[in-house]
Amino acid sequence: MRMSTLATVAAVVIIVAFALLATVGGPGGDETPPRLTIKSAAVYVGNYSEAVLEIEPLNGTIQVSAIEIGDFYVECLFNNVISQGGVYAVKLPNASVEPGRVLAGRLILRGNISYPFAASVKRGPAPEAKPLCGG
């Protein structure tokens, strides 16, 4: 008799746990993946190299994990939250990149969601921009 009572209590606990998970959406919930538009992208070379992207979040705040452009990969440990649209700059390691080229890139968001873009390489100073990825 004692074993059946224990089994009944365990079954009720399991049913209630699954009902709660279904109510709140379970792990990860019904979270809408972040969406954004990259309106423009360019890499400016001069005394140092800098990638400049015009980013417009479409459904709230986004968190950038990394940016990959050409042979460069920059992890974003701070200055990585974008809550409003604007022009953002990422400092790149110095390397010889020829102006006039177009580099393929990816903006990688939290959750490993990536947005591809193409950036033209230009000579000269980068325009005024908010820092991104610690830049």
Give the predicted TM-score (pTM) of the model.
0.73
Helix (H, G, I), strand (E, B) or coil at 66: strand
- What is the C-alpha separation between 56 and 35, in angstroms, rounded? 9
Q: What is the pLDDT of residue 14?
A: 56
Task: Give the pLDDT band (50/70/90) at residue 25.
Answer: very low
For 36-52, what is each residue's pLDDT tens digit? 999 999 999 988 889 99
Give one DSSP letter per residue of 68-123, joined into a string.
EETTEEEE-SSS-EE-S-EEEEEEE------TT-EEEEEEEETTTEEEEEEEEEEE
39 with 86: CB under 8 angstroms? no
- Looking at every residue in the chain, the average pLDDT score rounds to 81
Over range 54-71, report the average pLDDT: 92
Task: Give the pLDDT band (50/70/90) at residue 78.
Answer: confident
Over range 6-20, report the average pLDDT: 52
